[in-house]
Amino acid sequence: MSDRSPRLGRSLARVAAMLGLFAGLSGVAGCDGRPRESTKTDAPAPKAGPQVAVLDLSAGLPEQEEAGFLGLSAPKKKTFWDFLNATEAIAKDPHVKGVFIRFGAATIPAAHAEEAADALLVIRKKGIPVHCHAEGLGNTTMIVAAQACTKIVIAPAGDVDTVGLAAQVVYLRKLLVEELKLSVDILQVGKFKGAEEPLTRDGPSDEARASLEGVLADLRQSWREAVRSGRPKEGIADAIEDGPYSPKAALGRGLIDEVGYSDDALKALEKLVNVERHRARFGGGASADGDDDEAIGELVRALAGDGPGDGPIALVRATGSISMGGGGGPFGGRDGITAKGLSRELAEVEKRDDIKALVLRIDSPGGSALASDLLWHDLMRIRAKKPIVVSVGEMAASGGYYLASTGNLIFADPMSIVGSIGVVGGKVGIGAALERFGVHAETFPAAKDKPGAASRAAYLSLLSSWDDPTKVRVLESMTAIYELFLARVAEGRKTTPDKIAPNAEGRIFSGREGKRLGLVDEIGGLREAVAKARELAKLPTDARVAVVGNSRPAFLDKLEGGGNEERVLSRAVGLDPVKLVEKTLPEVAPFMTSMLPLAEQERVVLATPFAIWVR
C-alpha cells in the first residue's frame, strides 16, 4: 500500500462524515427553498451539432473565484482563466457557427479587457460572427466590444458610459490633523512614491502629479488605439471620451450598431448563422463534461489538504494586497495575498517533481514589506529548480512588483501597472484627538533618566506621536528596506541596483512603458505566459496547466485555530471593514488595503502610491 493510502482513507472518512453532516443539515432545514428561475433561452442545449456559443460576462472576469460553503470554490466556472479556456475551446470547435456575448453592466479591469479582446479576436478572425449585447458599456468593456464584436447591441434603457480615463486621489490631512487632531507620522523613501500624500497633504506634490499624469497619458493612448483598431470609424477615438451616451446617441456616433433586447439579439444571430440552438460556454448556465465528478474531487482534495491537480505547468494566482496573514491585528487573516497561504501553495509546487514550470499570475498593489520579502525568497528557491514566468494582470506594483521580479520572464498587458519601487512607513496616532475629550495617556519608560526613552519605547503606540529622533531611526530602517527592495529586484532581473534605481523612487508605469524601461520582458497576457512556460520547460504546446490555490478551504484552517477569530466573527455578522471598503469604495480599495499592514504592528509597507481604477 502506498504512503498516500492511509491519508486517502482518512480523507474519505472525513468526506463521509461531512456528507452525513450535509444530510443532517438538510433534514433539519426541511424546506424546499426558492425554485430556480429558468428561461427558454437559457435551456440546456445538446453539446454537439451546429450551435451558437454563449459567453456571459455579466459577473465580470475575476482572477479567482470566491470561496463558497466550507471555503470551497463556487461550482460554476467563471474566473478569467476559465474564460480563456472557454474561448480557446470555442475557437477549435467546428460546431460553433456564432458567438453571443452578454456583457450585462459588468465592470472589467483594463488589462483583463485587453486580453479578453485578444482571445475573442482569434474567433472573429476565423470568420465566425460575434454578436454582443450590453445593458451598459464602460471605458474598458468598450475595448472588448470594439475589437471582438461584429455587432454591438445595447438595451433600450441602457447607456454607453465611455467618458475618458481619470484618477482621483482623496486628501485627508485637514480632516485628520486639523479637525480630528490626529497625529500623522508617515515617511517615504523615493521622491515619486507619494503613498503618504493622501494623509499628509491637501493636494499632490509636483513629483506625484508628474508620475500620475505620465502613466494616465500612456494608458489613454493604449485605450484609444485599442478601440480604434477594432472599430475604425471616423472620429471613434474622440467619441469614446465624450460620453455618457443614451443608446440613440451612441448609435449616432458609431459606438454601437443596434438598440434592442438580449433575447432578440440572440435569436437574430441564430437566424443569421442558420442554427436553432445555443449553448452556454462561460458564466451563467455554463457547464462542462464531468463537472459533478470534478466537484466531488475538489471536495476530497480540499478536506484532505491535498495540493494541485495533475499537470506539468502550475498556475498560481496572487491577487490582492500583501500581508503576513494568520492574525496579528484588527485586520489579520484578511483576503488577498498572505505569506502563510501563498507560501503553502508555493511549497507544494516546489516539492513536486511532476511540475516542471510555474506561471505566477499577479494582480497586486503591494502591502507588507516583510511578507513580500519572505515570498520573494520562496519564489527564488523555486526558480533555482524550475522556470517561473510571471503574468501581470491589472497591476504588479510595489510589493506586487517585488514578487514579479522573481520571474525568469515578466509578461504584462499594455494597460497593466508596474513599478512603484519605493517604501512608505509610519502610523496615525489618536492621542491628541483623545485629549480633546479629556483622555490623557502618559508613558512611563523604565529608563526614565535616558533622553527620548519614552518616545522610543512607545513608538508603536497609537496614543503618542513620533519625536524627531524617532523619525530619524524609522527613516533609517525604511531606507534599508528600500535598498533591499532594489537589490531583490536587481537580482531577479539579473542586473544591478544602479540600473534599477533610475526607474525606482516610487514611479509607476504602464505595461508598455515598463517594457521600454526593462521592467517587463514581453507584452502579452496569461495565454502568452503559459505558452512561454511550456517552451522553457521543453514541454508540448498542449501540456496541461494545473491551477494551484484554494486547495485547502478556510474552514479547515479555522478548525485548526488559524486565522483571526474577530475577523471571522465580523464576516459572520456582515461587519468586515475590508469587504465594506471593497464594496462601497472599489476605486480606493487597492490603495487602502495595501496600506493596512500599518494598522497591524508593521511600520513599513510597499504600497502603490495611488488608487488607479480604470473601468
Catalytic-labelled residue, pool 368, 398, 405, 510? 398
Please check whether residue 114 is in contact with residue 145, taking contact to mean a CB–CB distance below 8 angstroms: no
Residue bearing cell 459533478 = 292
- Compute the distance between CA of residue 378 and CA of residue 347 in angstroms, rounded to an integer: 8
Amino acid at 577: P
* Those residues with Cβ within 8 angstroms of residue 266's Cβ, 6 or more apart along the chain or in another chain: 41, 52, 54, 100, 131, 133, 278
HEC profile of 260-282: CCHHHHHHHHHHHCCCCCEEEEE
Rg (CA), the chain: 26
Angstrom distance (rounded) from CA 546 to CA 484: 33
3-state secondary structure of 330: coil
The x, y and z cell numbers of residue 114, run together, are: 485587453
Verify whether residue 391 is a known catalytic residue: no
Q: Which residue type occupies 472?
A: V
Give the C-alpha separation, 396 to 412, whole Å: 9
Residues 6+ apart with CB under 8 A from 293: none
Nearest to 97 by CA among 274, 286, 284: 274
Short-list 380, 401, 407, CA closest to 606? 401
Exposed / middle / buried, residue 460 (Cβ in 10 Å: 0-12, 13-18, 19+): exposed
Backbone phi, psi, residue 51, to 5°: -160, 165
Q: What is the DSSP string of 445-494?
A: -SSTTSTTHHHHHTTT-TTSPPPHHHHHHHHHHHHHHHHHHHHHHHHHTT
Q: State the catalytic residue, choosing from 92, 248, 450, 583.
A: 450
Separation between Cα atoms, residue 222 and residue 259, nearest integer Å = 28
Residue 398 known to be catalytic: yes
Chain centre to alpha carbon of residue 329: 23
> C-alpha cell of 528?
502568452
Q: One-letter amino acid identity for 213?
A: E
Which residues does the annotation mark as catalytic? 398, 450
